[in-house]
Structure 1
Amino acid sequence: MSVVGIDLGGTKIMAGVLKEGSIHAKLTVPTPEEGGMAVVRAMAEAARSVIDASGEEVRAIGLGTPGPLDFRRGRVKFTPNIANLTDFPIVELLEEATGLRVYMENDANAAALAEHILGAARGAESSLFMTVSTGVGGGFVWGNRVLRGANGQGGEIGHVTVLPGGPSCGCGLDGCLEALATGPAMERMALASFRREMTTRELFALFQQGDSRAGRIVRQAASWVGVALASLVKCYDPEVVVLGGGVALNAGQGYLDEVMRSYQRYMEGWVAPPIRLARLGGEAGLLGAALTAALEVGEV
């Protein structure tokens, strides 16, 4: 028997059947702009399509969704990029639409779980995952279980404060890692430095060509990632650290070297677990969603 994974994003919904550690019959559909029940219907239709295409008998659905989430009630508290999902009973409604049991997980936590079980941290007892892209997400996994915390907000590492009084973050506070180290943060700094709008792709190209202004921006962002990783490692003491996301994987070796320099500086005198690059790419969230259900029904 198998499980279905659904990865709900702001622009697309991915679904697939997990069998023997890999995804089969994967399908991607647009996320309905109107949100709400239209999203539920789109996810249910995608689930039915991949089940039919795979020919598998499916036991449950694992859903990876942005949050914050209310795990006790199976609800999305709100999502900044999907309409009409405020205090939304997404688990109950998807169960009604599919006739299958649904197990929900935060999307970044789901990716952390996938990298832990099937990716860069495979074989480790515990791992810390960080993804740096348009935002910062991640999670901590111990013994194949994601640490959610008492209120479901464990693993919100993008909102760790690394520079009190620093730039404002989308969460409403200041100095969060997400406000300092992401693609948009670097684009904001590039606008101030170069006096023109610049994509991260352009910025990284200049950095790799040795441009001094681009170098200052990229290395500063990388150093904040190293500071945050060191602080998180001291809290969680994982066996392995996994680093992924578009920024981390596309900025170049110089960026990674700066992350490591900063990380090692702030881990001086402590045991520093190795940092490995994420291996599962864009499929990590889908795999993690499916693994969430597979763990609950005994398929892992």
Structure 2
Amino acid sequence: MTEHPVIRHPAAGRQGGSIGIDIGGTKIAVGVLVGEELHEFRSHPTPETGWASVLDAVAALVLPLLERFPETDAVGVGIPGPISQDRQRVLFAPNIYGFTDVPVVQGLRERLGVNVSVENDAKAAALAESGLGAAQGSSSSVYITVSTGIGSGIVLNGRLWRGFHGVAGELGHVVSVPGGPVSGAGQAGTLEAVASGTAIARDASYALNREVSTAEAFALAQSGDRIASRVVQGAMTRIGLAIADLQKMLDPEVFVIGGGVASVGPYFFEHVQAAANEAAEGFARPQIRPALLGSQAGVIGAALSALIDRAG
């Protein structure tokens, strides 16, 4: 069994435990939060045959964990898309095939036989990073994940902000380039459509006239390739502009960026910070930090969300 960081969120010490599930466009990750420790972190490819197959795959991963950890009595699941106001259904998850108006809570309760909480995946990660990660100790923070898509979560005065309709923080669906490429949600020119890992790979492949992955695009850019540099720097600039806008509107103490694209490291953060500073000139300078919890953030946040919901 792999050992993982100690969890020191107030909800984590409550009696019993919870299972966190992070459903992404390419993989499903799960883990068990018992007391103050996360155990059994593992992942599996996300099925591409519709939402029922995805829930079946989740059940196949979780049922053995429920048997092995009988003290767990709550399950939290994070999904990359907006959640219904009553937090029972996923309205749509543009990066998961067939995931539209899905009764996630009912579907998983039927498959697992335990209480289930659903949360947007970026909001779950925001909760984890705020309480346990890079934003720990801050009163307000914004978490942004830049990966297959772009998502975000907002913590204000120590509490996760979902908004009146439950969809606050959908930064990836904010229009960045009017009339630009169409996103998986069917909207033109959103930040996700022009600055996500998917968008970077698409634009680099077109510009270089061959298949190029996101990782290769960044590697080429850092080695001095002029065309790749234009592609990735354009994406990073748009992310920086979005952060500057949020700084002006919300004035959070810190921004935390995670996800596969952010794992590029200093090259990514230096360019995003520079773009944000320039766009925020005359206002507070955005404080941008790399996420600390990595691929575990969504799982930890989903598990914490289930514990918080259970406690009422």
TM-score by length of 1: 0.89
**1 CA distance for matches of 2:58 and 2:285?**
41
**2 CA distance for matches of 1:267 and 1:147?**
23
How has the CA–CA distance of structure 1 residues 187 and 4 changed in structure 2, closer, same or farther, with 3 Å as cutoff?
Answer: closer
How has the CA–CA distance of structure 1 residues 168 and 35 changed in structure 2, closer, same or farther, with 3 Å as cutoff?
Answer: closer
* Residues 129-208 of structure 1 mapped to structure 2, 5 A cutoff: 129-208=143-222
How has the CA–CA distance of structure 1 residues 205 and 139 changed in structure 2, closer, same or farther, with 3 Å as cutoff?
Answer: same
1:139-187 deviations in Å (ceiling 9; x for gaps): 1112443222222221110112222233333332322111221223223
Question: Which moved further from structure 2: 163-172 or 97-106?
Answer: 163-172
Cα distance, 1:115 vs. partner? 1.1
Tell me the equivalent position of 1:287. Answer: 300
Q: Report the 3-state secondary structure (helix = DSSP H, G, I; strand = E; otherwise coil) of the residue aligned with 2:100.
A: coil
**2 CA distance for matches of 1:40 and 1:91?**
10
How has the CA–CA distance of structure 1 residues 237 and 211 changed in structure 2, closer, same or farther, with 3 Å as cutoff?
Answer: same
Q: Is the 8 A contact 1:15 1:50 kept in 2?
A: no
Q: Report the 3-state secondary structure (helix = DSSP H, G, I; strand = E; otherwise coil) of the residue aligned with 1:233.
A: helix
Matched residues, number: 297
Cα distance, 1:36 vs. partner? 4.1
- Runs of 4+ in structure 1 off by over 6 angstroms are none
How has the CA–CA distance of structure 1 residues 81 and 180 changed in structure 2, closer, same or farther, with 3 Å as cutoff?
Answer: closer
**1 CA distance for matches of 2:49 and 2:210?**
34
Tell me the equivalent position of 1:50. Answer: 65
**Pair 1:267 & 2:280 matched:** yes
Structure 1, unpaired ranges of 5+: none
Question: Which moved further from structure 2: 43-52 or 261-270?
Answer: 43-52
How has the CA–CA distance of structure 1 residues 33 and 135 changed in structure 2, closer, same or farther, with 3 Å as cutoff?
Answer: closer
Q: Which amino acid aligns with 1:259?
A: V
Q: Which amino acid aligns with 1:280?
A: L
**2 CA distance for matches of 1:232 and 1:157?**
9
Cα distance, 1:211 vs. partner? 2.2
Q: Report the 3-state secondary structure (helix = DSSP H, G, I; strand = E; otherwise coil) of the residue aligned with 1:297.
A: helix
1:91-142 deviations in Å (ceiling 9; x for gaps): 1232233332211101121111111111111111111011112211111112
Identity of aligned residues (%): 46
Cα distance, 1:11 vs. partner? 4.2
Tell me the equivalent position of 1:229. Answer: 243
Q: Is the 8 A contact 1:59 1:297 kept in 2?
A: no
Tell me the equivalent position of 2:130. Answer: 116
Structure 2, unpaired ranges of 5+: 1-15
Q: Report the 3-state secondary structure (helix = DSSP H, G, I; strand = E; otherwise coil) of the residue aligned with 1:166.
A: coil
Question: Which moved further from structure 2: 272-281 or 85-94?
Answer: 85-94
Q: Is the 8 A contact 1:71 1:104 kept in 2?
A: no
How has the CA–CA distance of structure 1 residues 31 and 216 changed in structure 2, closer, same or farther, with 3 Å as cutoff?
Answer: closer
**2 CA distance for matches of 1:39 and 1:168?**
25
Cα distance, 1:85 vs. partner? 4.3
Tell me the equivalent position of 2:7. Answer: none
TM-score by length of 2: 0.86
How has the CA–CA distance of structure 1 residues 130 and 195 changed in structure 2, closer, same or farther, with 3 Å as cutoff?
Answer: same
